[in-house]
Amino acid sequence: MRNAFLVALREYVENAKTKGFWLGILMLPLMLFLSFQVPLFLEKQGTPVRHFVLVDLSRQFEKTVEQALETQYQRDLLQALNQYAREYASRAADTSGGEWKAFADESPEGVAAFLQAGGKTYFLALLGKTLLPNTPPFVEPRRIYRRVSLPITEVKSIQSIADELRPFLRGEKKIKENETPVRLDAAILIPPDIESQIVRPDRKMAPPEEAGIQYWSGNLADKALRTLVENAVNQEIKRRESINRGFDLATYQQIEKTHVPIIELNPKKVAGQERVSAAEKLAQWAPVGFVYLLWVALFSISQMLLSNTIEEKSNRIIEVLLSSVTPAEFLMGKLAGIAAVGLTMVLTWLASLLLLVGWKVSGNSEVAVQFLTLLRGSHLIPAFIVYFFFAYLLYAGIILAIGSVCNTLKEAQNYMAVITLLMMVPLFTMMFIPKDPNGTVATVLSWVPIYTPFIMMNRAAADPPLFDVIGTMVLLVASTAFVLWGAVKIFRTGILRTGQPPRILEMLRWLRMR
């Protein structure tokens, strides 16, 4: 055992000194940090301003579209104000002087109440003296959609407008906003006979395919403005239709606000506490992140183990080492050393995840609070460490056996292609498993040892049957022991072998050798 420990210590130190190890340590925390911050930055600063023209020849929906755009902006403004208050309002304001929390609801009804109360001015007045010292002034979010004047002097028809706007929409010409040339991103053209083009169930003949509001844009991916216009106009059409059929405006508004809430209840919880919380909804999908982390860790460490083994064999270092230790001691030491490297990486990743989530919690991020509560109150992290340990031993044994019979990485690629293909299955199924964690697919894959760590980790939040938990773990331990036993057999014979790699049948015969 002393020799195996010395080999393990050597493997750990040698790998810990490499640039790849430190890149692996730092890369995931950096990616986690960027995954928190980049979307926020892109939402606030990265999204470019969209300039558009609006031509309503019917004179019916221009104000409807403008009001929808203003309502959308006021919702963004309310979100920014709530975030500003969560970051800079004194914690004492939670119990005294926290009137601004009355506008925490950012639904359409909440935005309407916010505007009726006085909007931004009233909200900031409510914050008042609850703001912390040296709080920076509130900065309003940008208006993403800005209407510009039509660069056409004479309006004849929808088709003529579209033809004259083509060079602007293609970027060949610039349109002016306050005397500044800007790119025209979209054109919304409403024909004069739009009323006759409305689709009604009682109409005998459907309008032609060319009928309707024309939305011109060269950016086919960004449909936010198109969707906003479509929803606003259709909502207004339905409102008018209801009034024309005998409903007054107040009655229509009451009908629009009428709904029944859906309460999610979990029959597995104790009586009186069955209601599903936001943290529990998050818990159903949290294992997906751990499965991906497990896959990345195993793939990275397997590549490290394979390259190290082949490098030592090709450089004849292995012959010097085997003059002092037995093949079994060398293999076990190598497994333990690389396992320590992998465990260091994984624990660093988990610690960085907790630190980043804790940092977000300090900023009163509701999702971060729920996620941290989930991590602290569940068994996801212990399950991840257990499954990582056995998955590593299982795959590392296979990788070491492959590395021992190959002289170059090129020779090992034929074997690794099969291993990589097998390892892709958990990635293909990781989004499906949480939807049916105790279904046939999940249950069957759980009993396949090379997939057990991934699939059972993905089922961890769904309370799988105890028989599956214990049975798959017993099978995983037995399979890992068998793979390690076979790896020692193949490693002992193949590590000093030169020439062409043996065939699989030949390696299977080595397992029968004493």
Give per-residue pLDDT as tens, 106-120.
777 888 888 888 888
Q: Which of 194, 216, 251 is the last residue of a domain?
A: 251
29-38, 105-114, 420-429, 465-474: segment of lowest average pLDDT: 29-38
Strand partners of residue 182: 175
pLDDT band at 471 (very low <50, low <70, confident <90, very high): very high
First-to-last alpha carbon distance for the chain, in angstroms, is 21
**Same domain, yes or no, for 117 and 236?**
yes
**Same domain, yes or no, for 201 and 285?**
no
Please list, residue by residue across 181-200, b when 16 or more beta carbons sit within 10 angstroms of its beta carbon and e when fewer do.
eebbbbbbbbbeebeeeeee
pLDDT for position 472: 93
pLDDT for position 355: 72
Element (H, E) at 424: helix 409-429
pLDDT for position 62: 92
424 assigned to some structural domain: yes
Average pLDDT of the chain, as a whole number: 78
The total domain count for the chain is 2
Asked if residue 346 has pLDDT above 80, the reply is no
263 assigned to some structural domain: no
Note whether 374 and 465 are within 8 A (CB): no
Asked if residue 156 has pLDDT above 80, the reply is no
Which of 24-38, 142-156, 247-261 has the largest mean confidence?
A: 142-156
258 assigned to some structural domain: no
Asked if residue 489 has pLDDT above 70, the reply is yes
**Same domain, yes or no, for 20 and 74?**
no
Cα of 109 vs its chain's centroid, Å: 29
41-50, 117-126, 192-201, 458-467: segment of lowest average pLDDT: 41-50
387 assigned to some structural domain: yes
Amino acid identity at 111: V
11, 13, 19, 24: CA torsion to nearest 10: 70
Range of the domain at 77: 47-251
Q: Which of 216, 251, 286 is the last residue of a domain?
A: 251
Asked if residue 455 has pLDDT above 80, the reply is yes
More confident site: 358 or 189: 189
From CA 323, how far away is CA 402, in angstroms rounded?
Answer: 22
256 assigned to some structural domain: no
Give the closest residue to 442 by CA, choosing from 459, 457, 461: 459
**Same domain, yes or no, for 332 and 235?**
no
pLDDT for position 66: 93
Asked if residue 495 has pLDDT above 80, the reply is no
The model's pTM: 0.62
**Same domain, yes or no, for 232 and 88?**
yes
Which of 96-110, 282-296, 392-406 has the largest mean confidence?
A: 392-406
87-101, 156-170, 234-248, 363-377: segment of lowest average pLDDT: 363-377
**Same domain, yes or no, for 149 and 73?**
yes
Query: What is the rounded average pLDDT of the residues 238-247?
Result: 80
- What are the structure tokens assigned to 323, written together? 């003059």
**Same domain, yes or no, for 21 and 95?**
no
pLDDT for position 490: 80
**Same domain, yes or no, for 61 and 187?**
yes
More confident site: 408 or 465: 465
More confident site: 405 or 378: 405
Q: Is the dihedral of CA 68, 73, 75, 76 positive or negative?
A: positive
299 assigned to some structural domain: yes
pLDDT band at 201 (very low <50, low <70, confident <90, very high): confident
Please list, residue by residue across 258-270, b when 16 or more beta carbons sit within 10 angstroms of its beta carbon and e when fewer do.
eeeeeeeeeeeee
From CA 143, how far away is CA 150, in angstroms rounded?
Answer: 19
Asked if residue 479 has pLDDT above 90, the reply is yes
From CA 388, how far away is CA 380, in angstroms rounded?
Answer: 12
**Same domain, yes or no, for 306 and 408?**
yes
pLDDT for position 84: 85
pLDDT band at 37 (very low <50, low <70, confident <90, very high): low
**Same domain, yes or no, for 95 and 202?**
yes
From CA 427, how far away is CA 448, in angstroms rounded?
Answer: 15
- What are the structure tokens assigned to 427, written together? 């990635």
How far CA 242 is from CA of 63, 237, 258, 358, in Å, comes to 19, 9, 15, 51
**pLDDT-above-70 percentage for the chain:** 75
**pLDDT-above-90 percentage for the chain:** 11
262 assigned to some structural domain: no
For the segment 67-109, what is each residue's pLDDT rounded down to a tens digit? Answer: 999 999 999 898 888 888 877 877 554 444 567 777 777 777 8
pLDDT for position 305: 79
12 assigned to some structural domain: yes
Asked if residue 444 has pLDDT above 70, the reply is yes
233-237, 307-311, 374-378, 399-403: segment of lowest average pLDDT: 374-378
Task: Report the half-sphere exposure of 118 (CA within 13 A, side-chain side).
Answer: 7
**Same domain, yes or no, for 208 and 316?**
no
**Same domain, yes or no, for 216 and 299?**
no
